[in-house]
């Protein structure tokens, strides 16, 4: 490259050469999506219509998903679709399975030589049987519509007469099939959502419905040597009351758009995380597809696009605030538009007092207003702004962020001393623990509730992580105010942050133990449980050098936090340490892991931080293979725990791989 540059500079074509070099470098960094086949295995076996654990593929915010066939009997079809609303259910095992007869003989596709692949943004199945090659490709073209293109090629030397049909059978009992010349429709009694398969093209198939089954049959076609036929179907899922779309799709054009879009996602991320090994690139791509598969578009009472915590767990079919802030930071690396929408989806339901709900659903009557979640929204908006440079987005969100920040001090500071507590709107301790995000953390075991006002209660425990997040929020609000030209507001935020920093170090840091702890309201007594809350002040930049050194030593203690996978949510030497059965009593959560590693790097402990990261990547089972990214991991064995295909884990992996 240097030789070419010198040669062209002498010819006076410097600008042209630089452009070519940049283009070449970008192409080298990007690597097309076809380089990343099967980063995630999509061949789980269905045991029933409600069994949604197997990994699936969705895209563009659609509310339906698919997988690759897990058994030979399903060759020629894609598993599913999985339909989503307040919960997930499989419509069918394979609702449009190909059947083909050649010269009057029905072929058994279970005997075909088959390859089934998941590329980012596309499923592909290739079958070879009796001088026929069949290529089936599935992509999404909108937030409601997927296309399946089936190409049948005569690879033999003699012409063949082929009769092609598609067949399906419902698993869903609350569904009814109807059909006409080129459409199969499925209606659902309770939800009134609707699914359809449209067969466009000049050749109109005959659709026959028999109870819970249907068959779509085309007229016989003569295939000469090396000749092929392509059949397209559109599979769409709509919310109750939504109008079905009538777009005419050109599959080659849509496939090209799909490939370009996904190549851009990968190129954007790899440009921000250069120098990754092959394994780390595959992990990054797996993280990206995890987030994209959990993407849900505006639907019923969800007014902007958001991201599920996991499509693979029934309890996570909604959009959570804490998750959304973290997901947005990960999404900002490659899809800033979705990152913005993900944040908006939660602020759509901000109340008149400034509170943001814990989670929202397609049915807003189910939204959880018993609590909110830890304040990381300004961090998310700042990070998204850093990737998008969209000042209009900042202008839109800034007043909402201010109202949310001020809400904490009006409703979660029991004694009005400037240090906040987690709490709830209904006075229950369980909702207050949820508000921390660390639902059953040991540090809350002895906490009780205190009433602040008619609709606000606090735990009798001021939490160091909460106040460290609020400190960071003040600094991010100062940056956002500066970006909007509000210098006076920025100065006020910075001044308030400095005062809070001093309070945090005085109230929560134990110089004898060298760690940060929660404390009881109105007392100097510390809650001496060692968990990730104690390293959040490093992430926020609150600690002095001496304090950071002390915290780093505890983090590096092999009896406490430097386990097989480092940085569990409770020290390994605590009697309540129980990663297998304790949700926040020992598992390694990747968000808290990231905050710890990032905090260490802020204070120059790069070697320790990098060693922790490498142990995570090496020892977390399945992480570097084709297995799903999990909610958390066992710190002593590396075993994946709890929900699979977990969004904030994927988002924080992207942060970890990018972090220097």
Please report how many Cα atoms fall inside a 13 Å half-sphere around the Cα of residue 373, on the Cβ side: 20
* H or E segment and range at residue 101: strand 97-102
Decide if 211 is inside a domain: yes
**Is 117 found in the same domain as 18?**
no
Residue 8 has pLDDT above 50, yes or no: no
3-state DSSP assignment of residue 500: helix
pLDDT in tens, 369-428: 999 999 999 999 999 999 999 999 999 999 999 999 999 999 999 999 999 999 999 999
**Is 25 found in the same domain as 91?**
no
Residue 660 CB neighbours (<10 A):
7
Q: What is the C-alpha separation between 384 and 343, in angstroms, rounded?
A: 10
Domain span at 17: 2-30
Decide if 227 is inside a domain: yes
Q: Are strands 194-198 and 306-307 parallel, antiparallel or unpaired?
A: unpaired
Residue 6 has pLDDT above 50, yes or no: no
User: According to the model, what pLDDT value does residue 2 have?
Assistant: 32
Instruction: Find, among 584, 556, 557, the residue nearest to 570 by Cα.
Output: 584
Beta bridge partners of 641: 632
Counting the structural domains of the chain, the total is 2
Which CA distances in Å does 638 have to 555, 616, 644, 651, 652?
18, 8, 14, 19, 17
Decide if 324 is inside a domain: no
Q: What is the C-alpha separation between 86 and 478, in angstroms, rounded?
A: 38
Decide if 140 is inside a domain: yes
User: According to the model, what pLDDT value does residue 18 have?
Assistant: 34
Map tokens 């249907």 to a residue: 214
CATH number, domain of 90, equals 2.70.98.50
DSSP 260-300: HHHHHHHHHHHHHSTT--HHHHHHHHHHHHHHHHTEE--BT
At which of 207, 230, 250 does a domain end?
250
Instruction: Determine what percent of the chain is predicted with pLDDT higher than 90.
Output: 90
Decide if 531 is inside a domain: no
Q: What are phi and psi of 508, to 5 degrees?
A: -110, -15
From 26-35, 84-93, 549-558, the region with the lowest mean pLDDT: 26-35
Decide if 176 is inside a domain: yes
Instruction: Find, among 99, 98, 104, 108, the residue nearest to 130 by Cα.
Output: 108
Q: What is the C-alpha separation between 202 and 151, in angstroms, rounded?
A: 16
- The answer to whether the CB of 294 falls within 8 A of the CB of 647 is yes
Q: What is the C-alpha separation between 306 and 555, in angstroms, rounded?
A: 34
Instruction: Determine what percent of the chain is predicted with pLDDT higher than 70.
Output: 95
DSSP secondary structure letter of residue 190: T
Instruction: Find, among 501, 467, 493, 497, the residue nearest to 402 by Cα.
Output: 493
From 70-74, 121-125, 459-463, 548-552, the region with the lowest mean pLDDT: 70-74
Residue 3 has pLDDT above 90, yes or no: no
At which of 250, 283, 316 does a domain end?
250
**Is 194 found in the same domain as 100?**
yes
Torsion sign, CA atoms 639, 643, 646, 652? negative
Residue 47 has pLDDT above 60, yes or no: yes
Q: Over range 342-368, report the average pLDDT.
A: 98
Q: What is the C-alpha separation between 635 and 582, in angstroms, rounded?
A: 12
Please report how many Cα atoms fall inside a 13 Å half-sphere around the Cα of residue 7, on the Cβ side: 4
Map tokens 């490709």 to a residue: 137
DSSP secondary structure letter of residue 596: H
Distance of CA 241 to the CA centre of its chain: 28
User: According to the model, what pLDDT value does residue 48 have?
Assistant: 82
Q: What is the C-alpha separation between 543 and 537, in angstroms, rounded?
A: 6
Burial class (CB in 10 A: 0-12, 13-18, 19+), 413: buried
**Is 90 found in the same domain as 222?**
yes
**Is 231 found in the same domain as 155?**
yes
* pTM for this predicted structure: 0.95
**Is 20 found in the same domain as 54?**
no
- The answer to whether the CB of 355 falls within 8 A of the CB of 312 is no
**Average pLDDT over the chain, rounded to an integer:** 94
Decide if 338 is inside a domain: no
pLDDT in tens, 132-189: 999 999 999 999 999 999 999 999 999 999 999 999 999 988 899 999 878 999 999 8
User: According to the model, what pLDDT value does residue 116 have?
Assistant: 97
pLDDT-derived band at 30 (thresholds 50, 70, 90) equals low
From 44-53, 58-67, 365-374, the region with the lowest mean pLDDT: 44-53
3-state DSSP assignment of residue 18: helix
**Is 49 found in the same domain as 8?**
no
**Is 113 found in the same domain as 15?**
no
Torsion sign, CA atoms 419, 462, 431, 380? positive
Residue 4 has pLDDT above 60, yes or no: no
Torsion sign, CA atoms 40, 44, 48, 49? positive
3-state DSSP assignment of residue 89: strand
**Is 50 found in the same domain as 14?**
no
Q: What is the C-alpha separation between 617 and 630, in angstroms, rounded?
A: 13
Residue 361 has pLDDT above 90, yes or no: yes
Q: What is the C-alpha separation between 532 and 469, in angstroms, rounded?
A: 13
User: According to the model, what pLDDT value does residue 202 have?
Assistant: 82
From 30-44, 465-479, 632-646, the region with the lowest mean pLDDT: 30-44
User: According to the model, what pLDDT value does residue 173 have?
Assistant: 81
**Is 75 found in the same domain as 135?**
yes
Q: What is the C-alpha separation between 460 and 450, in angstroms, rounded?
A: 6
- The answer to whether the CB of 92 falls within 8 A of the CB of 168 is yes
User: According to the model, what pLDDT value does residue 182 have?
Assistant: 87
**Is 115 found in the same domain as 230?**
yes
pLDDT-derived band at 24 (thresholds 50, 70, 90) equals very low
Q: What is the C-alpha separation between 548 and 241, in angstroms, rounded?
A: 56
Instruction: Find, among 202, 206, 229, 201, the residue nearest to 217 by Cα.
Output: 206
Q: What is the C-alpha separation between 168 and 79, in angstroms, rounded?
A: 11
Beta bridge partners of 295: 307
**Is 23 found in the same domain as 90?**
no
User: According to the model, what pLDDT value does residue 180 have?
Assistant: 85
- The answer to whether the CB of 507 falls within 8 A of the CB of 465 is no
Q: What is the C-alpha separation between 637 and 652, in angstroms, rounded?
A: 21
Decide if 66 is inside a domain: yes
* H or E segment and range at residue 324: helix 321-331
Which CA distances in Å does 526 have to 114, 413, 415?
62, 17, 17
């Amino acid at each position: 490259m240097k030789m070419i540059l010198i040669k062209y500079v002498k010819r006076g074509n410097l600008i042209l050469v630089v452009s070519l070099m940049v283009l070449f470098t970008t192409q080298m960094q990007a690597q097309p999506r076809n380089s990343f086949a099967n980063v995630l295995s999509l061949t789980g076996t269905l045991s029933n219509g409600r069994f949604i654990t197997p990994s699936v593929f969705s895209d563009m915010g659609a509310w339906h998903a698919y997988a690759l066939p897990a058994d030979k009997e399903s060759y020629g079809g894609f598993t599913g679709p999985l339909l989503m609303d307040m919960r997930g259910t499989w419509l069918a095992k394979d609702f449009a399975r190909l059947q083909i007869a050649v010269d009057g003989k029905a072929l058994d596709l279970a005997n075909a030589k088959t390859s089934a692949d998941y590329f980012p943004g596309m499923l592909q199945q290739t079958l070879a049987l009796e001088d026929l090659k069949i290529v089936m490709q599935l992509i999404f073209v909108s937030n409601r519509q997927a296309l399946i293109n089936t190409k049948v090629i005569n690879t033999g030397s003699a012409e063949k007469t082929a009769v092609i049909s598609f067949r399906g059978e419902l698993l869903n009992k609350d569904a009814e099939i109807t059909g006409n010349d080129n459409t199969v429709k499925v209606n659902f009694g309770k939800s009134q959502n609707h699914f359809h398969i449209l067969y466009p093209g000049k050749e109109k198939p005959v659709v026959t419905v028999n109870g819970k089954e249907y068959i779509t049959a085309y007229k016989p076609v003569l295939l000469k040597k090396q000749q092929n036929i392509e059949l397209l179907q559109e599979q769409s899922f709509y919310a109750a009351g939504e109008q079905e779309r009538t777009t005419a799709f050109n599959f080659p054009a849509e496939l090209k758009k799909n490939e370009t879009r996904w190549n851009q996602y990968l190129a954007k991320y790899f440009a921000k995380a250069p120098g990754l090994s092959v394994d780390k690139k595959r992990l990054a791509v797996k993280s990206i597809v995890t987030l994209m598969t959990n993407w849900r578009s505006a639907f019923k009472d969800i007014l902007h696009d958001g991201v599920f915590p996991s499509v693979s767990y029934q309890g996570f079919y909604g959009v959570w605030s804490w998750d959304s802030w973290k997901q947005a930071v990960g999404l900002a690396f490659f899809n800033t538009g979705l990152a913005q929408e993900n944040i908006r989806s939660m602020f759509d339901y901000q109340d008149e007092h400034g509170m943001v709900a814990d989670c929202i659903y397609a049915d807003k009557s189910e939204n959880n207003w018993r609590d909110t979640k830890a304040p990381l929204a300004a961090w998310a908006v700042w990070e998204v702004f850093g990737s998008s440079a969209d000042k209009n987005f900042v202008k839109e969100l800034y007043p909402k962020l201010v109202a949310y920040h001020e809400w904490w001090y009006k409703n979660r500071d029991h004694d009005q001393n400037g240090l906040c507590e987690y709490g709830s709107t209904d006075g229950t301790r369980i909702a207050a623990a949820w508000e921390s995000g660390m639902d059953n953390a040991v540090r809350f075991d002895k906490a009780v509730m205190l009433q602040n006002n008619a609709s606000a209660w606090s735990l009798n425990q001021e939490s160091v992580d909460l106040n460290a997040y609020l400190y960071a929020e003040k600094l991010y609000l100062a940056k956002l105010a500066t970006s909007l030209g509000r210098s006076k507001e920025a100065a006020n935020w910075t001044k308030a942050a400095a005062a809070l920093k001093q309070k945090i170090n005085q109230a929560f840091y134990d110089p004898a133990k060298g760690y940060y702890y929660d404390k009881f309201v109105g007392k100097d007594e510390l809650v001496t449980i060692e968990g990730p809350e104690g390293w959040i002040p490093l992430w926020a930049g609150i600690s002095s050098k001496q304090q950071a050194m002390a915290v780093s030593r505890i983090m590096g203690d092999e009896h406490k936090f430097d386990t097989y996978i480092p940085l569990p949510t409770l020290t390994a030497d605590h009697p309540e340490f129980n990663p297998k059965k304790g949700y926040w009593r020992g598992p390694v959560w990747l968000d808290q892991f990231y905050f710890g590693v990032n905090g260490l790097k802020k204070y120059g402990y790069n070697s320790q931080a990098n060693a922790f990261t490498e142990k995570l990547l090496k020892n977390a089972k399945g992480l570097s293979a084709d297995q799903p990214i999990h909610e958390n991991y066992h710190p002593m064995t590396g075993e994946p725990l709890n929900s699979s295909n977990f969004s904030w884990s994927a988002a924080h992996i992207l942060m970890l791989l990018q972090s220097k």
